[in-house]
Amino acid sequence: MNDPAMPKVHLDRTHLRHLLTAMLRIRRFEEKCFELYQTEKIRGFMHLYDGEEAVSVGVIEALRPEDAIVATYREHGQALARGIGMNPLMAEMYGKLEGCCRGRGGSMHVFDAATRFYGGNAIVGGGLPLAVGTALGDKMLKRNSVTACFFGDGAVDEGSFHESMNLASLWKLPVLFVCENNLYSMGMAVERAEADTDIGHKGVAYHMPGEVVDGMDVVAVEAAARRLVAQVRESCVPCLLECRTYRFRAHSMFDAQAYRGRAELDVWRKRDPIVRLQAWLAETAMLHPDEIDRIEAEVAAEIDAAVAFAEAGTLEDVKDLERFTIMDRVPQ
């Protein structure tokens, strides 16, 4: 893996293999989740990230272990990219005690103290004030940490977006705001929701530097994230990164997608971040096709193991139902 302290992306074979692997882990993990949803192993609301993998992989590549992440209910990608194990993540999808949140959060509420992963927030825009807070706390404790706050274009419609952008800029807090603009907040097209659809431009109103990047290009996302994270960390000012991306699947498992046409989907499918990276790697002879097969095999084995882990997992005893509603101490 590249040194996160370096603002530039090193396009060597090892790193590119790593990026491809990271995206494939997310894609294949979610394909399995989709299957498991059909067989009712996974229930509840589940929002797949299919098509958006380059955003979480590219941004998280630029972070250090001491940095914090606040994400949305569509956060399997961030969770895996951040290093939450596939086993506890799959067990969480199953609602098992061995899940990262003991099966209490499920798909929409992934939390992990070890990697400073603060959700898994299922109120659109609800995570942004939290991210302002983790950054404020880190700054007061002189941690030199950055909080990466992921949110969708729908969150931009919420007052909390504007309050949080203003607070972070006013107080010079180390937040990287990452808008995953997939053009729809559920079924609401961005041009039907925003008077100005240029989300990246909205940082200007808060004196916040930023960039707009092709969210279907993992190298471009990583490069932009590295530039902005370095700026956030060094100057302790927040930045806004808009990643233009697209979700290939439905909003959730209950969505007939009446709001968009097949032709639009086909156009975006051609820009699939995984297909693009693979094609480029083949063209430049950076990665042998056999190597891609090997990656697929590794990922498949990891997923099989995660499913086996989740299947073998136990259910939390209902006698613990009320446990952790009120805490008896602050966990260390």
Partner 1 sequence: MSQSAGAAEPQRITYREACKQGIRAAILADPRVFLMGEDVARYGGCYAVTKGLSEELGEDRIRDTPLSEGGYVGAGIGAAIAGVRPIVEIMTVNFSLLAADQIVNNAASISHMSGGQFAVPVVIRMATGAGRQLAAQHSHSLEGWYAHIPGLKVLAPATHEDARFMLQPALDDPNPVLIFEHVMLYNREDVLDPAVTGVDISTAQVRRAGRDVTLITYGGSLFKTLEAAEALQAEGVEAEVIDLRVLRPLDTPTLLASVARTHRVVIIDEGWRSGSLSAEIAARIAEAAFFNLDAPIRRICSAEVPIPYAAQMEQAALPQVATIVATVLALVRSR
- By CB atoms closer than 10 A (0-12, 13-18, 19+), residue 312 is exposed
Q: Per CB under 8 A, which region of 38-46, 128-136, 224-232, 263-271 contacts partner 1?
A: 128-136
Q: Does 240 bind partner 1 (CB under 8 A)?
A: no
Nearer to partner 1, 147 or 278 (CB): 147
Q: Does 256 bind partner 1 (CB under 8 A)?
A: no
Is the separation of the CB atoms in 121 and 70 below 8 Å? yes
Nearer to partner 1, 125 or 215 (CB): 125
User: In whole angstroms, what is the distance from residue 255 CA to residue 287 CA?
Assistant: 37
> Which positions from 147 through 206 interact with partner 1, judged by CB under 8 A?
159-160, 163-164, 166-167, 170
Give me the phi and psi of 71, to 5 degrees please: -130, -175
Q: Does 111 bind partner 1 (CB under 8 A)?
A: yes
DSSP 3-state percent helix, strand, coil across the chain (nearest 5):
45, 15, 40
- Record the tokens describing residue 304, joined without a space: 């099989």
User: In whole angstroms, what is the distance from residue 180 CA to residue 178 CA?
Assistant: 6
Q: Per CB under 8 A, which region of 29-37, 45-53, 267-275, 324-332 contacts partner 1?
A: 324-332
Least distance from partner 1 to the Cβ atom of residue 120, Å: 8
Nearer to partner 1, 246 or 309 (CB): 309
DSSP conformational letter for 315 = P
Nearer to partner 1, 2 or 115 (CB): 115
Closest CA to 139 of 63, 237, 246: 237
Lay out the site mask for partner 1 across 52-81 (x = CB under 8 A, - = otherwise): ----------------x-x-----------
Q: Does 109 bind partner 1 (CB under 8 A)?
A: yes
Query: How far is C-alpha 297 from the geometric centre of its chain's CA atoms?
Result: 24
Among 4, 95, 133, 210, binds partner 1 (CB under 8 A): 133
User: In whole angstroms, what is the distance from residue 51 CA to residue 132 CA?
Assistant: 28
Lay out the site mask for partner 1 across 284-323 (x = CB under 8 A, - = otherwise): ---------------------------------------x
DSSP string, 132-172: HHHHHHHHHTT----EEEEEEGGGGGSHHHHHHHHHHHHTT
Among 51, 58, 77, 105, binds partner 1 (CB under 8 A): 105
Q: Does 330 bind partner 1 (CB under 8 A)?
A: yes
Closest CA to 245 of 162, 153, 165, 157: 153
**Residues in the site for partner 1, rule: CB under 8 A?**
68, 70, 99-105, 109, 111-113, 118-121, 123, 126, 128-138, 140-141, 159-160, 163-164, 166-167, 170, 323-331
